Amino acid sequence: MEFLKIFLSWLIPFICGGVISLLGALLSEKKKRDKRYRLMEKGIQCLLRENIITQCDKWLDREYCPAHEKYSLQKEYEAYSGLGGNDVAEKRMELLMELPDHKREEC
């Protein structure tokens, strides 16, 4: 009986300490994952912004943009906007959408 009391007096703190350590480790890992996720999100946002600006500038220089390119860039912009981006690319997208779908015939 005495052994059981001693065993339980050590077991309960041991289990509590283990649970607290495990929770601490899990919380630390979650913080690392969350930070990594935010960094990946920002990286994807930067890549989308760069491609949108590059493509918009290309078509704005040509003064037309085929409908399929507009559609593709619109979908890309929706993803970019959904990640929180909404700066220089927004104005370029507005200008791009106003472009004609075909190159104008020169007389």
Residue 8 has pLDDT above 80, yes or no: no
In order, the DSSP letters of 37-90 are HHHHHHHHHHHHHHHHHHHHHHHHHHT---HHHHHHHHHHHHHHHHTT--SHHH
User: Residue 107: pLDDT band by 50, 70, 90 thresholds?
Assistant: very low
pLDDT at residue 6 in the model: 76
Please give the pLDDT value at position 106.
57
For 66-101, how does the pLDDT look when each residue is reduced to its tens digit (9 = 90+)? 999 999 999 999 999 988 877 778 889 999 999 999
Domain ranges of the chain: 2-98
The residue assigned the tokens 């700066």 is: 87
Average the pLDDT over 36-46 and give the result: 93
Which one is predicted more confidently, 5 or 96? 96
Q: Tell me the two tokens of residue 14.
A: 């041991």
Structure tokens given for 39: 């960094």
Quote the pLDDT of residue 16: 83
